[in-house]
Amino acid sequence: MKMKKQLLTLVALCAIAMATHAQTEKGDNLIGGSLSISSSKTESPNYEKRYFYGINPSYAHFFSKNLAIGLIAGAGYTKNFNSSFDANTNITHTRTSKQKTFSIGPVVRYYVDIVDKFKAFGQFSGTIGFAKINESGSIRNSYSIMPNTKFTQYNASIRPGLAFFPTKKFGIELGFSLLSYHKIDYGDQSAANIWYEAEAFEFGLNTFDPFLGFNFHF
């Protein structure tokens, strides 16, 4: 009886080991993504309302143990409405801006085993995105409203994180931004738009801006 119990314990431990280490083996796949919906409203001193909808699916294949390479994509829609009252002319100016974006690029992730069901990981992703803005209204400030504006976005980031696997095929992860690069280029559409071009580089572990993810491994 004692030997039987030891055998059952050994089988259980082997099963646990297989369950916790099979998610990131060579030949496995990973599917994940995120869905974002947000809205905000400001009424003082001027009225402003904003809506945002976004989806970011991703897929990666494990070419070796713990190393996954794949693609990440994104699509989003933003709508902004502004209204301001000019006391000098007694005229209310309005502006409506609608922005559609699409992006795609590679993603590389490497896992490091810690303990049962827990792994650390580092992720690099780089995307190129295309956006179009349609604007309408009567606001006239430091620039004129352009009915159709197109621009290109470049993004790259390195993010460390932790992954928890409650089951063999399901992972929950928490990560943070470590290094990121962003650039917006409006091209040569208009000389007045040259100030729209923006470039930013950020470095440092930002624990105030974490991301929570859910991935399916198969």
Is residue 58 within 8 A of residue 73, CB to CB? The reply is: yes
Residue 75 corresponds to which amino acid? Answer: A
Output the CA angle 80-84-90, nearest 5 degrees: 150
Answer with the residue of higher pLDDT: 38 or 11: 38
pLDDT of residue 10: 39
Answer with the residue of higher pLDDT: 169 or 67: 67
d(C-alpha 103, C-alpha 114), whole Å: 33
d(C-alpha 126, C-alpha 107), whole Å: 7
Range among 85-89, 135-139, 154-158 rated most confident: 154-158
Res. 66 pLDDT band, cuts 50 70 90: very high
Residue 218 corresponds to which amino acid? Answer: F
In this predicted structure, which of 54-58, 92-96, 164-168 has the lowest mean pLDDT?
92-96
pLDDT over 90 for what percent of the chain?
19
Average pLDDT over residues 37-50: 77
Output the CA angle 133-155-214, nearest 5 degrees: 100
For CA atoms 74, 129, 28, 110, give the dihedral sign. Answer: negative
CA dihedral 148, 188, 151, 153 (to 10 degrees): -170
pLDDT of residue 94: 77
Mean pLDDT of the chain, nearest integer? 77
In this predicted structure, which of 37-41, 59-63, 88-92 has the lowest mean pLDDT?
88-92
Q: Is the per-residue pLDDT at 98 higher than 80?
A: yes
Q: What is the 3-state secondary structure (H, E, C) of the chain?
A: CHHHHHHHHHHHHHHHHHHHHCCCCCCCEEEEEEEEEEEEEECCCCEEEEEEEEEEEEEEEEEECCEEEEEEEEEEEEEEEEEEEECCCCEEEEEEEEEEEEEEEEEEEEEEEEECCEEEEEEEEEEEEEEEEEEEECCCCCCCCCCEEEEEEEEEEEEEEEEEEEECCEEEEEEEEEEEEEEEECCCCCHHHHHHCEEEEEEEEEEEEEEEEEEEEC
Average pLDDT over residues 140-160: 73
Q: Which domain holds residue 9?
A: 2-217
Answer with the residue of higher pLDDT: 127 or 150: 127
Answer with the residue of higher pLDDT: 42 or 16: 42
**Where residue 21 sits, what CATH number does that domain have?**
2.40.160
Number of domains in the chain: 1
d(C-alpha 218, C-alpha 28), whole Å: 6
pLDDT of residue 207: 58
pLDDT of residue 11: 38
Q: Is the per-residue pLDDT at 23 higher than 80?
A: no
d(C-alpha 57, C-alpha 122), whole Å: 18
Closest CA relative to residue 187, chosen from 141, 133, 150 = 150
